[in-house]
Amino acid sequence: MLTSSVLRTPLYALIVRRSQEPGRATAVALLGMGLASALAPYLGTVLKGVDPVLPFTLSGVSLALGTLGFVAWEARQRPANCLSPAMSAGRKPW
């Protein structure tokens, strides 16, 4: 069984490794998770009598928006002219 802290660890590891300001980015991530945790019970009661497709659609859209936001954030963290030694040598970074 996985706990919620195990599922959050990769997010924080990425933030600390790739962020120019890890404290601020971590605070924003914690704020987002706190808001989601606070709204979850309310949304559960509001969406109780609704067609089950709507909650799944809402969660899918929110996941897509979160992923796009994280990709945009990561792109801003690394300038385009800053290449790693592996990339400047023509090798793949992985």
Tokens of 48: 């109780």
Cα distance between residue 25 and residue 15, in whole Å: 7
**Any domain includes 93:** no
CB 93 within 8 A of CB 86: yes
What is the total residue count of the chain? 94
Average pLDDT of 53-76?
86
The whole-chain average pLDDT of the chain stands at 76
**Any domain includes 94:** no
Cα distance between residue 25 and residue 72, in whole Å: 13
Q: Which domain holds residue 70?
A: 4-88
Return the pLDDT at 64.
Answer: 92
Return the pLDDT at 17.
Answer: 75
Over the stretch 31-54, which tens digit does the pLDDT of each residue have? 888 898 898 888 888 888 888 898
**Tally of domains in the chain:** 1
**Any domain includes 35:** yes
**E strand or H helix at 52:** none
Higher pLDDT, 70 or 9: 70
Nearest to 11 by CA among 88, 78, 70: 70
